[in-house]
Structure 1
Amino acid sequence: MEDDDLDYDIHFPPVSASVEEDDILDCSQRKEEPVMILLGWLGCKERHLSKYSEIYEAKGIITIRYILPREILMSTTANLGAVACKLLDLLFDYGLEESPILFHIFSNNGCTVYGHVLDCLLSREDNYKKYQCLQIRGCIIDSAPGKSNLYRGAMAITTTLTPRPVFRWFAYYGVLISLFVGYFLRSFLSSLRVIQRKSQIHEILKYDTSDWPQLFMYSKMDKIISYRDIEEVIAYRRSMGRDVDAICWENSEHVAHFRQHEKAYKEQCYLFVEKCLETELRA
């Protein structure tokens, strides 16, 4: 579906459908169905993200999927704040503003959108007041956040451009050169105050002032995002008294934890959502 220039997908589980049978999580009988907003990684396709939304739809959870396009991420003039507002406005458009809301975000691309969503949710400015009524219950962060790194950034972009290893190295060096040129150009223009520097997503999630629970899912084998960057965020947020869960795998690649550890991945997601909703009931 499209809302102006926002290309998203929303799925309502059928009323007659039975939820996946196990002992964890059943949202089909809740008065207000939970909503899971999934924010995809760079190069993610709709068919990829739909596999994750099926995890939640099997439990009677409404899902909204959105993937920030590469051209918007790379643009210095893109208004990501407007994208974030449009995403949250979908909740009002579909009458879901009273439902418990959760996020499942992937890599730095998903975190970039989520960072601007946080601005909308936590701002005290008058034009953002309506978002303060939303019932945000938790956030799952898959393979993120990572510190800015031109080499890792080039690798992430290259993997979305060509699946053929023989062309990947040529693409990698071409992208790397482009990023270097863009970096120095932005630095120069920033020094002249022509444009402002973009905030670092790693710092945004590290110092995020929200107090809803978080679950970080990551791997030591990830070549795009360093597990040490993620563990720095986890350690800091725990030191500040935030409710943070984490699971680290030894052998799964970037945003491939579900593919390589399907049963454990789904179980962690279900247990986390269940915890978030139980916290809501106790409040």
Structure 2
Amino acid sequence: MAASLDNLEYYITFPNPTFNYNQNNGDSDFVFVVNEKKLPVIVLFGWAGCKDKYLAKYSQIYEEKGLITLRYTAPVKWLFVKRDHISIIGQKLVKLLFELNFDNHPIFVHCFSNGGAFLYQNFSTAINYNDKPLELKGVIFDSAPGKRRLGTLFKAISAIMEGNVLYNFTTSLFMTMFLSLVWFVEVISNTLFASENVLSNNPFANLLNEKNRCPQLFIYSKNDDLIPHTDVEEFASHRKKRGVDVTTVCYDNSLHVKHLPENRESYVTSVFQFINKCLNGSN
């Protein structure tokens, strides 16, 4: 079901009222033991340029188990140019969860690539500054987070752009040069005028020491053509040293945000085991 909150378009799916939680449904033989009055809510944040029909393939694995899903992908122009809008989106999403009376439900975030991680960063910040508490039970990072690199930026923009090869290359190169200048200005500004919002547009740097300490699952690949597996491993290692319960799943061959279609059985099993562990509070 598509809906909106102050022009914020999102997609939410509720389970069928007759859903039987005591039997297997969908992928694998996994059965969740849940409180049917407080069902887990999976919030999915898509990668930059992600179309909802692709993100829906991920939410489907949760919906087949009778969980509530909420999907949202930030507009590309906000992720790359008007990035101050993302903090507002984070606040609106937190407000939405309260309006839907999900504040007492187990909340999980499943974010993809740096675009989804950037949105999660602002969502997490909004939770910290919100008047009412909202507890995250777990966070799943798929193909994220990665360090900011010009080569990675160019590839990401090129993957999003449409049109012939010449147009794609020219536009991607221009956007990369422009955004590299923006990054440079940000670094200088943060150096001269340091504040608690320093590096606010860099998910890898900011999320290293975020206040949230709920368990985190990292799904990544040695063959990722955008974010090196070493970035994810460095990040996960740092979070573990900060006292976070970290789980990692590393594939050898799957490409960026392609881990589900290329490793479906193990991917689904890993995700379900992680969520079940968080729900049961086990380590």
- TM-score, normalized by length of structure 2? 0.88
In 1, the alpha carbon distance for the partners of 2:220 and 2:186 equals 35
In 2, the alpha carbon distance for the partners of 1:197 and 1:169 equals 34
In 2, the alpha carbon distance for the partners of 1:190 and 1:135 equals 32
Deviates more, 1:203-212 or 1:183-192: 183-192
Aligned residues: 271
The 3 A distance-change label for structure 1 pair 191 and 219 is closer
Match of 1:179 among 176, 180, 183: 176
Match of 2:32 among 26, 33, 46: 26
Paired letter, 1:92: F
In 2, the alpha carbon distance for the partners of 1:213 and 1:185 equals 33
Residue aligning to 1:11: 13
Alignment of structure 1 residues 29-68 onto 2, 5 Å: 30-68=36-74
Paired letter, 2:161: L
| Structure 1 unmatched runs, 5+ | none
Residue 71 of structure 2 aligns to a residue whose secondary structure is strand
Match of 2:275 among 273, 276, 281: 273
Paired letter, 1:3: L
Residue aligning to 2:224: 222
Residue aligning to 2:144: 144
Paired letter, 1:121: I
Identity %: 32
Residue 37 of structure 1 aligns to a residue whose secondary structure is strand
In 2, the alpha carbon distance for the partners of 1:32 and 1:48 equals 27
In 1, the alpha carbon distance for the partners of 2:278 and 2:201 equals 29
Paired letter, 2:6: D
Deviations 1:42-97 (A, max 9, x none): 12111101111111111111000000110111224632221001111111211211
In 2, the alpha carbon distance for the partners of 1:16 and 1:41 equals 33
Asked if structure 1 preserves the Cα contact closer than 8 Å seen for 2:213 and 2:243, the reply is: no
Paired letter, 1:245: T
Residue 102 of structure 1 aligns to a residue whose secondary structure is strand
Q: Which runs of 4+ in 1 moved over 4 A?
A: 188-194
CA drift of 1:28 comes to: 5.9
Asked if structure 2 preserves the Cα contact closer than 8 Å seen for 1:39 and 1:65, the reply is: yes
| Structure 2 unmatched runs, 5+ | none
CA drift of 1:258 comes to: 0.1
CA drift of 1:161 comes to: 1.8
Alignment of structure 1 residues 164-175 onto 2, 5 Å: 167-168=164-165, 171-175=168-172
Residue 52 of structure 1 aligns to a residue whose secondary structure is helix
In 1, the alpha carbon distance for the partners of 2:257 and 2:47 equals 8
Residue 172 of structure 1 aligns to a residue whose secondary structure is helix
Deviates more, 1:88-97 or 1:103-112: 88-97
Alignment of structure 1 residues 1-283 onto 2, 5 Å: 1-18=3-20, 20=25, 23-27=29-33, 30-76=36-82, 78-123=84-129, 128-130=130-132, 132=133, 134-162=134-162, 167-168=164-165, 171-184=168-181, 187-188=184-185, 191=188, 198-279=200-281
Paired letter, 1:171: N
